[in-house]
C-alpha cells in the first residue's frame, strides 16, 4: 500500500449547516470521511487535504478570508502538521497547485478521493487525476452535493450526486464505500 494516498477535497464550513452553501448529505459525508481517515492514519498512509478559497470578490461561498473556508473539525487534522493542506482557487485541485508534485514526489500512483461538491470540485479533480495517469478510488458515500437548476427546474442533490458518481465510476475511478475502501 506504499503507493496510495488519501486526498480530501473541500470539507469546509460553508458546506455544512449554518454555512453559506450547505450541501445535502454533508454531515453524513464528514462522518464517513472521518472513518476513512482514521483507518488510513492507523495504516500510516499519507493524507492530503485540499482547501478552496475563491478569489472572486462576489463569491457567495468559500470567499477568501471568511470563516466558511475553514476545514471542518471532523477531519481531525493532526496538530503536528504531518498532513499537507493544499490551497486551491479553482475546481481542479491540480490546477495552479503543487498537488501533482506532492503526490509524485511521494511515489503515489493510487489515490483515494473524497470530498465536496460531487458535481464540481470532486468531478473536476478526479477527471484531471485520471488524465494525469493516477489510479483513482472515489469514496462515494463520503461526498456531498448541492441543489442545481437546469432549465429553471430544480435538480435534486441526491440525483446529481448519483449521476456524477455513475459518470466518474464509468471510466475515471473505482467507486468504493467508506466501509470497503481498503479492498
Angle at which helices 157-171 and 123-131 cross, to 10°:
10
Core vs surface per residue 47-73: b (16+ CB within 10 A) or e: bbbbbbbbeeeebebbbeebebbebbe
The pTM (predicted TM-score) of the whole model is 0.96
Q: 22-67 pLDDT, tens per residue?
A: 999 999 999 999 999 999 999 999 999 999 999 998 999 999 999 9
Residues 4-176: name the CATH superfamily: Isochorismatase-like (3.40.50.850)
Q: 104-123 pLDDT, tens per residue?
A: 999 999 999 999 999 999 99
Q: What is the C-alpha separation between 67 and 75, in angstroms, rounded?
A: 16
Q: What pLDDT, on the 0 to 100 scale, is given for residue 38? A: 98
Nearest partner of 48 among 119, 140, 127, 115, judged by Cα: 115
Nearest partner of 30 among 182, 159, 178, judged by Cα: 178
pLDDT above 90 (res 1) = no
Q: What is the C-alpha separation between 13 and 118, in angstroms, rounded?
A: 16
Amino acid at each position: 500500500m506504499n503507493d496510495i494516498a488519501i486526498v480530501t477535497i473541500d470539507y469546509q464550513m460553508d458546506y455544512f449547516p449554518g454555512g453559506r452553501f450547505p450541501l445535502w448529505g454533508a454531515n453524513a459525508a464528514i462522518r464517513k470521511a472521518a472513518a476513512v481517515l482514521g483507518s488510513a492514519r492507523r495504516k500510516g498512509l499519507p493524507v492530503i487535504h485540499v482547501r478552496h478559497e475563491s478569489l472572486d470578490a462576489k463569491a457567495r461561498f468559500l470567499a477568501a478570508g471568511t470563516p466558511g473556508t475553514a476545514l471542518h473539525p471532523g477531519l481531525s487534522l493532526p496538530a503536528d502538521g504531518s498532513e499537507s493542506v493544499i490551497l486551491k482557487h479553482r475546481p481542479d485541485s491540480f490546477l495552479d497547485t503543487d498537488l501533482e508534485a506532492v503526490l509524485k514526489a511521494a511515489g503515489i500512483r493510487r489515490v483515494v478521493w473524497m470530498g465536496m461538491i460531487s458535481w464540481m470540485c470532486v468531478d473536476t479533480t478526479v477527471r484531471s487525476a485520471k488524465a494525469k495517469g493516477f489510479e483513482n478510488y472515489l469514496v462515494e458515500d463520503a461526498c456531498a452535493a448541492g441543489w442545481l437548476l437546469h432549465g429553471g427546474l430544480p435538480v435534486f442533490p441526491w440525483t446529481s450526486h448519483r449521476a456524477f458518481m455513475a459518470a466518474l465510476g464509468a471510466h475515471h475511478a473505482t467507486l468504493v464505500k467508506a466501509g470497503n475502501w481498503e479492498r
